[in-house]
Chain A
Amino acid sequence: MQTSYRSSARILLPVRPWFIGCSLAVALLLNLLPTSLWTGLPDWLALLLVFWSVREPRRVGMGLAFLCGIAMDVADASLLGQHALAYVLAVYGGGSLSRRILWFPLGQQALHVFPLLLLVQLVQVAVRTVAGADFPGFGYFLGPLLATLLWPVLTFLLLLPQHQPADHDANRPL
């Protein structure tokens, strides 16, 4: 875990791999909720993949992103490879910018993440436009904006399991 100047001032415990898997599974579940009528909901799976690729670039790589993308494509009835391509590109971006992003405080981290999430939507629009679909409207790009606003909350929640001290002291509350 990289410690940096302000973003994670405290030294964190190492992440548990099953926690990453569970959070990704929950994100997939959230993505598949019957919310197709509301445009502008964030793509949870993309957000979680970018989060873990920034936090743990060694563990969450492009292979996992590709598999998640294929699962999304099938569940979504979209072209096979559409989500996969978008997620792979976003995770590559997140992984290669990870050391830079983690140096910033949370607000500025979110600003770095926004273009990555926008890239996910742009790639999908480009793929579908080439395949002959119509432009789905600007509400489609509201999702990354919401996801960016959620970044600080998400960071706090997902890093909670790593906040406990390694050696448990009965006389200390946390």
Chain B
Amino acid sequence: MENQPPPFFKRGPAPLALLSFYVALSVALLVVDARMQALEVVRQAVSLFTQPVQQLAHLPAQSIASAGDYFVSLAHLRGENARLQQARMEKATTLLRTQQLEAENDRLRKLLGVRERQQARGQVAQILYAARDPYTRRIVIDKGQQDQVVAGLPVIDDAGVVGQVTRVFPFVAEVTLITDKEQAVPVQIVRTGQRSVVFGLGNGQLELRYLPANADVQNGDVLVTSGLDGIFLPGFPVARVVHVERDTSYSFARIFCMPLAGVENFSEVMVLDQRPPVVLPAELAQETGRETKPLKASSARKKRLRRE
């Protein structure tokens, strides 16, 4: 005790001790976040401070964009208007008939005693920006906990499935795109009715995995959601097959697809409401002796969702 140096040069703990403390803390955070996903509350708390800074950082880009909108030429707008009118007229015939077909479908379903199809409902959200992380494909939308967005909701645009909400903050939410490496969507091939799961590749493409090398898949086949996951409603377009590689040395074909939705573009999207839970018949529920929550029971449930 008597040999301690005088407290003239107090500099706190030694740098190496501090370093090991902070490194241990970071590694602990990393492990907890990557393996257990138990830090969403911390994230939401910190986001309250970072979100205003992010909005401030996006102001210049937004003002440039709005200035660009202001100076858009009249001719351009006229052309766009004419194009839209034409597209509307072209679609009108199909749309008019769709209403009649839906009514007819409802009647027939009632006749057959099949449960009625669920209507898709949701809220329109604006894409704010793409997340800066170069390892993942994510976008941030302007709807969050305040708008009753919860993790797991499907997100679509006018052409097809965009992705799934994976992280919710008070005012914004993160959407993992279907092209992300960890995202999977259960799909059905429209032409043949074959069901499978399509995985993101991380480079803007998707891959249809685990189909045998002689599977009936052609270029141009359209994939729609199969609805088996209990999350996406069935029938939303997801992707189009662009390339099929059949190598006899592998037991599976390599099937590459391009997303149909403007997944990597900036536009407006729609966050669909949660699907109502599928109720098992009473005898089945007793047999399994479990809760009949479809999100828990569904076998095709996403890897990502398991974390939430």
Chain A interfacial positions (CB closer than 8 Å to B): 25, 28-37, 39, 58, 61-63, 65-66, 69-71, 74-82, 84-85, 88-89, 92, 95-96, 127-128, 131-134, 136, 140
Contact = CB atoms under 8 A, between A and B. Distances in A.
Contacts of A35: 132
Nearest to B135: A133
Interface in B9-57: 11, 15, 18-19, 22-23, 25-30, 32-34, 39, 42-43, 46-47, 49-50, 53-54, 56-57
Determine which residue in A28, A37, A69, A78 has the highest number of CB atoms from chain B within 10 A of its CB, and name it. A78
B138 interface: yes
> How many B residues touch the partner, as a band?
35 or more
A86 to B, nearest CB: 9
A134 B181 contact: yes
B136 interface: yes
22 contacts: A28-B53, A32-B50, A32-B53, A33-B58, A34-B129, A39-B134, A63-B18, A66-B25, A70-B46, A76-B133, A77-B174, A78-B135, A80-B42, A81-B30, A84-B26, A84-B29, A85-B23, A89-B23, A95-B15, A131-B30, A132-B181, A134-B202
B29 A36 contact: no
B57 A36 contact: no
Nearest to A58: B11
Interface of B: 11, 15, 18-19, 22-23, 25-30, 32-34, 39, 42-43, 46-47, 49-50, 53-54, 56-58, 60-61, 129-136, 138, 140, 167, 174, 181-182, 202
Contacts of A28: 53
B181 A133 contact: yes
A132 B304 CA distance: 13
B43 A74 contact: yes
Q: Among B27, B30, B42, B167, which residue has the most Cβ atoms of chain A within 10 A?
A: B30
Given A29-B53, A133-B181, A36 B26 contact: no
A81 B30 CA distance: 5
A75 B136 contact: no
B129 A36 contact: yes
A82 B57 contact: no
B167 A77 contact: yes
A92 B33 CA distance: 24
A36 B132 contact: yes
B148 to A, nearest CB: 21
Contacts of A39: 134
B54 A32 contact: yes
B132 A76 contact: yes
Contacts of B202: 134
A36 B131 contact: yes
Nearest to B46: A74
A85 B135 contact: no
A108 to B, nearest CB: 24
A152 B154 CA distance: 49
Contacts of A89: 19, 23
Contacts of B50: 32, 71, 74-75
B61 A77 contact: no
A15 B138 CA distance: 40
Contacts of B39: 80
A81 B26 CA distance: 5
A74 B47 contact: yes
Nearest to A74: B46
Given A29-B53, A74-B47, A77-B167, A85 B181 contact: no
B22 A63 contact: yes
Contacts of A88: 19, 22-23, 26
Q: Which of A28, A39, A85 has the most CB of B within 10 A?
A: A85
A75 B132 contact: yes
B34 A32 contact: no
A29 B132 contact: no
A58 B27 CA distance: 25
Contacts of A25: 53
A61 B132 contact: no
